[in-house]
Amino acid sequence: MKKIILLLFAVFTYPILVHAQTGNQLSNEQKTWLSKANRHEKNGWIYLHVEGTPEARGFQHGYLLAKEIKDALFETSAVWHYQTALDWQWMVQRSDKMFTHSIDPENLQEIDGIVEGMKAAGMLTSRAEIVAYNGSTEFMNYWWPLVKDTISPSSPDPRKESCSSFIATGNMTADGGIVLGHNTMSSFYYPLCNIVMDILPEKGHRILMQTVAGLIHSETDFFITNAGLVGSETTIGGFFPFDEKGIPEFARMRHATQYASTIDEWCDIMKTGNNGGYANAWLIGDINTNEIARLELGLKYIGFERTKNGFFVGSNVAEDLRILRFETKTSEQDIRNSSIARRVRWKQLMKENAGKINIDLAEKFEADHYDTYLNVNSPDVRTLCAHPDLDPDIYRVDIPYAPWGTLDGKVVDSKMAKQMSFTARWGSACGTPFEAKEYLQKHPQFDWMKSLITDRPAQPWTVFKAGEVK
């Protein structure tokens, strides 16, 4: 494995990160910061608690997850080069120019802290590289498709994130409170989204969220705050507008989650300076009022709905007709398409389980394998717990046996959220294990990613809580 990684470093001209330092000594201040942090591992997840000032939080993050961040930067740079034939530093420099000036001072301080934490752990990176990494979804999936034909006409579009999520309340749930469920559908070769981060900031609200090592935002977007907000999102499929002069989505998401006390405040922060990057349908709930909302954040057009009795679902197709018709390239009627089949399935499950939805059902929903096009139970690209890696006939989505799918499952209700807690499953929402070596042996056309993908054995549903210790 080491030989493969070293070879890829050379092929992908991997950046400054890999130069190790020796003999680093922590200052008394840094030791104090680390004494307040906590990292431990549980059933495939890495739990990380950070607290204090932006610099302290970033340092704790960078120091305690240095190896994971190093791996994530390598993986992101390798995928970028493979898909575009362009150097990683080309992307870093342009991301820095595009994003850094629009990021608020607190988020930049936390990013600088990550850089310093990694340095203290013996690994060098830079503010520009961490900014590029945090903004990689926006850069690769929204800006790049607009300009790639002028630079590299043969480059394919990078994979956009996909997810299956619902939120229900009032007469839809067993106790009248909120129930939220989400699973992440993404490429197997991207950095692992197995970090559960507990952030206790000096200012603002405490956050418990799923994330990826080295990111200041969630990216997979599942979170709880001590203001009583819970949230998730699903990417709006086929979305194309982008404003490179706006505020990057990752900075807005983190600021909104840390400082908003209500649904309206959260949505207002997200809309301010919107650049169209990582366009999502956000499912937000307020456990203080049992109100839920769906914010579909396009660029020019914004959809917003709210209720205290009902549900909202997300499956990567826009519900707002203006966004659907003017800002996406998606059809909402062809049930052979994964997003449409999953949209139909969500509505079936909501109708069949009205008034009964609870944590147990939410876990089952996120692990559901019913294909509404074929009308059979069969794990494939069209099911809520998606398995395109098992699917020989992926209609209008990707190539056969494509290396992506559902990577996890997370659910929370009002009772859990009041205790800053949720339950999650790493590996696949249904518990199906993934074996990288076996997969590549069956599908050698994907051998370019053999140093990027890892096994994901079956794991149980596991409870996480803010403030937990090893």
Question: Residue 149 has what pLDDT?
Answer: 77
d(CA 281, CA 399): 26
Question: Residue 188 has what pLDDT?
Answer: 94
Backbone torsions φ then ψ of 119, nearest 5 degrees: -60, -45
User: In this model, does residue 8 exceed pLDDT 70?
Assistant: no
| DSSP per-residue codes, 344-380 | HHHHHHHHHTTTTB-HHHHHHHHT--EETTTTEE--S
Query: Taking Cα atoms as reference points, which of 257, 210, 230, 217 lies closest to residue 48?
Result: 210
Question: Residue 117 has what pLDDT?
Answer: 98
d(CA 34, CA 50): 9
Q: What is the pLDDT of residues 309-368, one digit of tens each?
A: 999 999 999 999 999 999 998 889 999 999 999 999 999 999 999 999 999 999 999 999
> Residue 212 has which token pair?
């990826």
Q: What is the pLDDT of residues 19-68, one digit of tens each?
A: 334 347 999 999 999 999 999 999 999 999 999 999 999 999 999 999 99
> Residue 403 has which token pair?
């290396």
Buried b (16+ CB within 10 A) or exposed e, 144-177: bbeebeeeeeeeeebbbbbbbbbbbbbebbbeeb
Question: Residue 152 has what pLDDT?
Answer: 59
**SS3 call for 88:** helix
Question: Residue 331 has what pLDDT?
Answer: 85
Contact 424, 410 (CB under 8 A): yes
User: In this model, does residue 392 exceed pLDDT 90?
Assistant: yes
User: In this model, does residue 183 exceed pLDDT 90?
Assistant: yes
> Residue 356 has which token pair?
């009964």
Question: Residue 59 has what pLDDT?
Answer: 98
In this prediction, what percent of the chain has a pLDDT beyond 70? 92
CB-based burial of residue 376 (10 Å sphere; 0-12 exposed, 13-18 middle, 19+ buried)?
exposed
Question: Residue 272 has what pLDDT?
Answer: 98
Please give the domain boundaries of the chain with CATH numbers for all domains: 2-151 (1.10.439), 162-465 (3.60.60.20)
**Which pTM does this prediction carry?**
0.93
Question: Residue 38 has what pLDDT?
Answer: 96
Q: What is the pLDDT of residues 129-182, one digit of tens each?
A: 999 999 999 999 999 999 987 775 554 444 455 799 999 999 999 999 999 999
Q: Which residue has the higher pLDDT, 1 or 371?
A: 371
Question: Residue 396 has what pLDDT?
Answer: 66
d(CA 19, CA 14): 11
Question: Residue 470 has what pLDDT?
Answer: 81
Q: Across-strand partners of 328? A: 239
Q: What is the pLDDT of residues 211-251, one digit of tens each?
A: 999 999 999 999 999 999 999 999 999 999 999 999 999 99
In this prediction, what percent of the chain has a pLDDT beyond 90? 89
Q: Which residue has the higher pLDDT, 460 or 393?
A: 460
